A and B are shown apart, each in its own frame.
Chain A
Amino acid sequence: MSKSTSTTIFRKVNIDEFDENNYQDEVVEADQVAVPAEEEIERLLNSKKNVDALQLLLRNAPITSKNQVDKDKAHQLVIRVLTMFKASEVGDAVNSLDSNSIDILMKYIYREFAAPSEKSASVCLTWHEKVYAVGGVGSIIRVLTDRKGV
C-alpha cells in the first residue's frame, strides 16, 4: 500500500542514473586545435587577406574542445572577420570554401543568430544567404544535428 505523502522529492530522482545499461554519450577526445592567435588574424586582415583569415579560422575551429573560453574567442574572431567583408565579396569567399568549412561557417552564423549584436545581424543574414546557396538545407540540418558545436 502506498501512503499518501506530501513530499514530492522522490519524483525528482533521475532513475536513469541507476540503470547500468543506460545510454552514455560517446566521450569525444578533444583534439588539440589551437585557435589562431588574434594577432595572426589581425595581420591577415590588415594585409587585405580576408579570405585567408576566414579559411584559417574555419580549419582550426575548436569543435571538439570543451573549453568554452576558446570557443567564445574563436566565435568572436570569426564574426569579426565576417564583418570585414564587403557585401559584394561574400559570394566569392563562400565559393572558395570546402564542404567542411561551409558546415562550420553555418554553425558560427547560427550561433550568432542566437545572440546577435546590432552590427552583426545584417552581416550574418548576407552570409547566411550565400552559404545556404552553396550548402543547401543539408548544411542547416547538420547545424541542428551535430553534437560538436562551435
Chain B
Amino acid sequence: MEKFSFGVDPITSHAWNRDRTQIAISANNSLVDIYQKSEEGWEKTQTLNEHTQRVTSVDWAPESNMIVTCGSDRNAYVWIQNGNDEWKPSLVILRINRAATCVRWSPLENKFAVGSGSRLISICYFDKDHDWWVSKHIKKPIRSTITTVDWHPNNILLACGSTDFKVRVFSAYVKDVEAKPSGNVWGSKLPLGACLMEFGGSGGWVHGVSFDATGNRLAWVSHDSTINMVNASANFAESQTKLKNLPCHSLQWVGPDSIVAGGHDCWLLRFSVDDSNNLTFEGRVGFSRKRTEEKVTAMSMFQSLDKRATVEDDSKKTSIHQNSIVQLLIHTGGREAVTKLSSVGADGLLVVWNQHSLQASIGGSTFDMLAETINQVNIASQE
C-alpha cells in the first residue's frame, strides 16, 4: 500500500493517466491539480483553472489523453495538451441549469456522460463540423439529481444512480459517432435515451453504480447502507445485502465475483458474489493500524486530561483513511482482475491498495497492504 497526502482539504475526485505517472486531483475547490510522480512523491505540474465553482468530478481518458472536468458552475471542459504540454480547455455545451455532478468517459473515449442536478444526463461527443463538444440529453423518466454514472463495456449502455433512490440503465447510443448497436441481454431496441431497466426505489440516495467486466451484472450502493446487485443474464435477479456499517459511497468490481466498496465507514469493504447471485460481506480490506503506544508520563497525562478531557488520544481512527472514502478507481488491471486499487477520501489522502499476491487465488480479490511499503509524502497545497 502506498499512502499520499495532498493537504488537509477533502479530495472530491481523482483520475489517473494511462501509465499512472500522473494524477488529476480536485481538492473541493474550483481547481484541478495535475501531479507528476517523482522519486520523492508527487510534484504539481499544472493547475487547471477554468471552473468558477467547485469541481465535482474529473475523468482522464487513458488512450486519447483527454481530461474532462465538470463542476457546480454547470459547465464541463475537455482538456487537451498542446505542443508545449500545457492543458488547454474547451467548453462543452451541456445545456443544463443545475450543477453537473459526475462525468465519465465511455470505454472507447468517443463520448462521455455528464450527470446533473437538472434531472438529466448529457451524452457529449465531438462535433467535427462545428469543432466543439455538443451534447444530447437523456431526460425521461429521471425525476431527480443524477449522482453517479457508469458505462457498460459495450460503449452503448449507461447506468446511472439518482437521488430518487433509483438505478436506471439507459441506451446512450449517439448515431453521429458510432454504428448502430445490436441488442444484448439488457434490451434489443437501443435508441438514445431508451430506459431499459429501472431498479430500486426504496432506501436512500444511490451513491455509486458499477458494471462488472462482462457487463451483465450491475451493482450499486446507496445511503440506506445497502449494497445491491442485479444479474441481467439470470433473468434480472436482484439481491441486496444490508450492511452493519455506515453507507458506502463508491464501489468497484475487482474480479469476476468480487466487489470492493468504500464510504463513510472509512474502510474498504470486500463482497463476494456466489452462483445464485447472493452478495456476501467478506470483511474489511487491509490491517488495522495499531495505535502507537506512547510513553505515558504523568505530565503528558495531565496535559492530555486538560486539553482533551481524556487520558488517551483516541482521535485517530484505526483505519487507513481518517475520513469518508469518496471515490474508488482501478489503478492496475481490468474489472475482471484488479491488482491495484486507488481511493481518495475527505481526509485528503490518496491510498493505492496492492493485491496481496499470496492470497490472490482466493476469489482473486484479497487486497492487503504491506506495512513496510507505506510511504507518506506531504505536499503542501497552495503555498
Interface residues of A (CB under 8 A from B): 21-24, 26, 99, 103, 135-139, 141-142, 145-148
The number of chain B residues touching the other chain, given as a range, is 10 to 19
Closest 4 pairs between A and B when the two form their complex, measured CB to CB: A136-B244, A138-B225, A145-B204, A141-B225
- Asked whether A146 lies within 8 Å of B144 as measured between CB atoms, the reply is no
* Closest CB in chain A relative to B324 CB, distance in Å: 13
Say whether chain A's binding surface is mostly helix, strand, loop, or mixed.
helix
A-B contact pairs, 20 of them (CB 8 A): A23-B144, A24-B143, A26-B201, A103-B242, A135-B244, A136-B243, A136-B244, A137-B246, A139-B244, A141-B225, A141-B246, A142-B224, A142-B225, A142-B226, A142-B242, A145-B203, A145-B223, A145-B224, A146-B203, A146-B224
Query: Is B84 in contact with chain A by the CB < 8 A criterion?
Result: no
Q: Is B119 an interface residue (CB 8 A)?
A: yes
Q: A26-B201, A148-B202 are in contact. Are A138 and B246 (CB under 8 A)?
A: yes
B73 within 8 A of A: no
Q: How many residue pairs bridge A and B at CB < 8 Å? A: 50
Q: Are A141 and B164 in contact (CB under 8 A)?
A: no
Listed residue (B203, B204, B242) with the most chain A CB atoms within 10 angstroms of its CB? B242
Please report which residues of chain B, range 116-132, place their CB below 8 angstroms from some CB of chain A when the two chains form the complex. Answer: 119
CB distance from B9 to the nearest CB of A (A): 26
Q: Is B255 an interface residue (CB 8 A)?
A: no
Distance in Å: Cβ of A107 to nearest Cβ of chain B? 12
Q: Report whether B243 and A138 are in contact in the complex, using a CB–CB cutoff of 8 Å.
A: yes
Contacts of B244 in A (CB 8 A): 135-139
CA distance A20 to B204 in the complex (A): 24
User: Please, which residues of chain B bring their CB within 8 A of the CB of A146?
Assistant: 202-203, 224
Q: Which residue of B lies closest to A24 (CB)?
A: B143
Interface assignment of B357: CB less than 8 Å from any CB of chain A: no
B227 to chain A, nearest CB (A): 11
- Picked from B143, B203, B223, B245, the residue with its CB within 8 Å of the CB of A136 is B245
Instruction: Give chain B nearest CB distance to A49 CB in angstroms.
Output: 27
Q: Which of B191-226 contact A (CB under 8 A)?
A: 201-204, 223-226
Q: List the B side residues contacting A24 at CB < 8 Å.
A: 143
